[in-house]
Amino acid sequence: MIEQIKEQIRVVVDARERAQVATDAKTFSRLEWERRNKGLIDGVLFTTEEVINAEVRLRELTLQAYAETGSKAPVPGVGIREMTKLDYDKTVAFKWATEHEMALKLDTPAFEKIAKASSLDFVRTYQELQATIATQLEVVE
């Protein structure tokens, strides 16, 4: 039995060494690929940032158009969605939940469902506008 254990130790050591060599080779290959393709990677990062900034600006313009015209779809491809939001003190909500034997921890989704359906004096309901952009966006002329 002792010899079997010693042999298995050698098998494990050998397997770990091969695994480390393979991992090191993969890491080296990845780093080498990244070095050779730095321009490609930088291009992806730059254009991704460009898209994010362009979409932020489009959302801002859509919200401005809604504020000026009241139209939730000022042009095809963009729109305004009204999101119902709740603002409340978590401590007061937890106290309410324990008094109503809901849980030892505030079940936020359940509480908010009740709060939307009921009138709780410590919850303020408000509408938040969210500009939306279609996935397939056609150029609008």
Per-residue pLDDT for the chain (141 aa), expressed as one digit of tens each? 888 888 899 888 889 999 999 999 999 999 999 999 999 999 999 999 999 999 999 999 999 999 999 999 999 999 999 998 999 998 898 888 888 877 667 788 988 999 888 888 999 998 999 888 887 777 665
| Rounded Cα distance, 64 and 86, in Å | 24
Task: Report yes or no on 63 lying in a domain.
Answer: yes
Task: Report yes or no on 44 lying in a domain.
Answer: yes
Task: Report yes or no on 140 lying in a domain.
Answer: no
Domain count within the chain: 1
| Residues near 94 by beta carbon (within 8 Å), at least 6 away in sequence | 105, 106
Find the domain containing 123 and state its range: 37-133
User: Is-contact 109 118, C-beta < 8 A?
Assistant: no
Residue whose C-alpha is closest to residue 111's, from 132, 86, 77, 138: 86
Task: Report yes or no on 24 lying in a domain.
Answer: no
Task: Report yes or no on 2 lying in a domain.
Answer: no
| Rounded Cα distance, 115 and 138, in Å | 40
Task: Identify the helix (H) or strand (E) that includes residue 122.
Answer: none
Task: Report yes or no on 128 lying in a domain.
Answer: yes
User: Is-contact 104 98, C-beta < 8 A?
Assistant: yes
